[in-house]
Every structure is written in C-alpha cells, then in structure tokens.
Chains A and B, each alone.
Chain A
Amino acid sequence: MHLDQGHTHDGPVAVSADAHRADGRRRALRIGLGGPVGSGKTATVAALCRALRDEWSLAVVTNDIYTREDAEFLLREAVLPPERITAVETGACPHTAIRDDISANLEAVEDLEDEVGPLELILVESGGDNLTATFSKGLVDAQIFVIDVAGGDDIPRKGGPGVTTADLLVVNKTDLAPYVGSDLGRMAADAKAQRGELPVVFQSLRAEGGDGVEAVADWVRARLAAWAA
C-alpha cells in the first residue's frame, strides 16, 4: 500500500507500512520478536545476527523495559557493529511501543536505514511482556513469538494472541525440558491445535551438537527471499 501519495518525498514518510522509503528504494524487511520475560528473545536475536550477518545487511532495535540491558548484551556479545543496534525506551509499557503507539520504533528503524543503510533486514525485539503482546502490522512485516519450556508446558494450551497468531512460534530451551518436567509432545500438540498450519520451531541454543538457531534462521531466510522477490 502506498498511502502517502500526493505528499512531497522530501521529508520523512508519514505512513509506516509503506514498503518503500522516501527516496523510492524498497525498505528493509522488519521482523518482530516478542514473548515473555526470560524466554530467550535476546539470545535468539544474538544467534540470528551471527547466523545471518555475513549473508544479509541487518540491524537490531531493542525495546528494553527499564534499562538498556538487552542492547548492551548485544553490544557486549559484538553480534553486530554498535551503530547497527538501537534501543527504544518504552515507559513501562513494552506492548504499547510495539502495538498501540509505534512511532518511536518506526523512527528507530528509519534512522537505522538512513545512518547505516542500505539494510535488508531489521529485527525489532520487544521488551519481555505477556501472552497478549503482539506487534502492529504498521511496524513489522512478520513476527516471531518466543516462549520457553521452563515457563510452563501449558503456555501453548493457554493460547493468547502471541501464541495463536504469530507467524512463527519458537519454543525455546528444549534442553531444559527433562529438568522442569515439561512435556514437549504435549506442547507441540497444543500449539498445533492453537495455530493450525502456522509453523512452530522447538529450539535449544545451548544443547551440544544441536542445530541451535538454524531452523529460525531458515525461516527468516525464506521471508527475506520472498521480500526481495
């Protein structure tokens, strides 16, 4: 949709979902990562950056709730050059900043494209939130919801917009399942019941010899290929 017809292209674009930037170039694909506190969003973002940074030009926006911890973790891990990581402050309401009032995040993604672009992919990480927190379509093109087995194996059954509607559901920390008594088969069946054909990935970033973030990275690669087509 090209909603800013009739306006000059001198200033910043006024409308968020437009696939083109003010200069007419196609903007970067934006993928949101949401989910409860401690489920492994930042670790997944870090692993995705390592997996994709040599193939694609990418950047990250974090939405910390009350600190710059997540941005600083990514900086410390040196997953990307520092100018490719930006933090947005959310005033105690992370879901507001990704859903109801997306202006600060839109400015962050546009500034990244202006300052370190051209970019092909921007990962927008939400602050840890509740099961109803989803990204606005005005901010991201696709969203990943990250939960973990230690948060309780009943979360897929409980559903909620994050679990039910995210374009990809990631069940993280599968290596912990035996220690916390979580039934992965039950989680998979519940997720299937809630999500129908929408994909689910079971992931462990820690298990030795495992595939780590590769399944999620492949999903992102497919999205990028579709965006570029």
Chain B
Amino acid sequence: MSRAALLVLADGRFPAGGHAHSGGAEAAVKAGRITGAADLEEFCRGRLHTAGLVSASLAAAAALGVDPVELDGAADARTPSPALRIAARKLGRQLMRAGRATWPSAELDALAGRFPKGAHQPVVLGVVARAAGLGADDAAYCSLYECVSGPASAVVRLLSLDPFDATGVLAGLAPELDVVAQRAVEGARCAVEGGVGVLPAGGAPLLEIGAEAHAAWAVRLFAS
C-alpha cells in the first residue's frame, strides 16, 4: 500500500462533494446542541461511535472485497432517515466520479454501472480505497476522519468558531478514532465470513431526526 495514496484520498480537498455537507452539524447548531468547541467535541464523539463506526465498517468491508451490492443494502438497513440515505447516495456518486478519474478500476466501473445514481458513500469509499491500493484499515480511517472533520469545518463556518479550536477537537479525538477504526476493521473481517448482517449497526436517533428536519428547511447553508 502507498501511504501517499492514503493522503490523497483523506485530503479534505479531494473533490468528492463533502464540502457542501455538515454531517448533521447545521441541524445541531440550530437546535442549540453545538454552541462551541466543547459541544463540537461531544457531537463528534457521538458521531464517531455510532454513524462513524457503521460507515467505517462498511468501507472496510468493501475494501476487503465484500460484495458492494450487499453492503449497499446493509447501509440502507442501517440508515433509517430517507434524507440521510439520499445524502449518502449523492456523496457516493460524487466520490465515484472522483475515484474513477483518480484511480481507474474495473470494480469501480462495475459499481457505477450497477448504481448510476450513486451507492452509499462508505461502500464507494471502500471500493475506491481498493482501487488506490489501500487496505481495510485505511478505508476505515478515511471514513472516520471524514465523519468528524466534516462537522468540525462546518461549525467553523456556522458559528465562526476559532479554526484552531476546531482542529484541536480533531486532534483530541485521534486516540478514540484509532480505537473505533480497529473495531470497524474487526467487524468488517467478521463480515467476510459471516455476511453483512454481522456488521456493526449502531445508530444515533438525534442525527436521523435532525437530518429529516434539516432537509425540510427553506434556508440552509449545507445540503445535509
């Protein structure tokens, strides 16, 4: 594997559409649940252990070669909010475009043909990681880092939060991210033998409810 390829894929400027999404932070800010760096850290921690773990294990399983069509179904089953499913497929489609242009691969072409309007983003992420020559742990790390860095950069824009504080939150969460990444990869390895049903299935009801409310707003800065 190439460590540099991991940096390319994990770069927040990788052109795959993430900049327009807040990972639920905009809804949480409006509801008064995020007012500063301390709340942001709690929000990101909650996301890391719930939606983050689920996404990272899907990505890791796809990187291990588990059937992406089955994984896409597993992602649907683990995403109750229709708004979040739509957002995940939009982002999956955008990542597919960037991934195919960056690391052309027959597996990516096949997945794009099967889901022309987009598969769930973590599933695409795992297949893109494979195409880039990366492993399951890399896919899990990318997924988890996005899961916390997206809300952090969104909150910098939404609350004019000091960007050094937001970056400090991400650095503070790094040891926990290591632990969750390990759990995600373990779950993915179980799914190679045991099928997608054994993947982690944690949920964050407030994220799901917030996403549904957010999708109905007339005025918002972020798409989700």
Contacts and interface: CB of A to CB of B under 8 A. Distances in A.
A101 B109 contact: no
Contacts of B218: 67-68
Contacts of A96: 19-20
Contact of A66 (B21, B100, B104, B220): B220
Interface stretch (A8-16, A153-161, A169-177): A8-16
Q: Is the interface of A mostly helix, strand, loop or mixed?
A: loop
A67 to B, nearest CB: 5
Interface stretch (A47-55, A84-92, A196-204): A84-92
A69 to B, nearest CB: 9
B109 A107 contact: no
Contacts of A65: 221
Contact of A11 (B90, B112, B154): B112
A90 B113 contact: no
Interface centre among A11, A15, A97 (most CB of B within 10 A): A11
Contacts of A90: 20
B78 interface: no
A75 to B, nearest CB: 14
A31 B114 CA distance: 31
B94 interface: yes
Contact of B15 (A10, A11, A12, A100): A100
Contacts of A188: none
Interface in A1-38: 3, 6-8, 10-12, 14-16
A149 B19 CA distance: 33
Interface string B186-224: 000000000000000000000000000000001111110
Interface of A: 3, 6-8, 10-12, 14-16, 65-68, 89-93, 96-97, 100-104, 106-107
Q: Which 5 A-B pairs have the closest CB atoms?
A: A91-B20, A14-B100, A11-B112, A103-B94, A101-B15
Given A66-B220, A91-B19, A100-B15, 10 more contacts: A7-B104, A7-B109, A14-B100, A89-B20, A92-B221, A93-B20, A101-B18, A103-B98, A104-B90, A106-B97
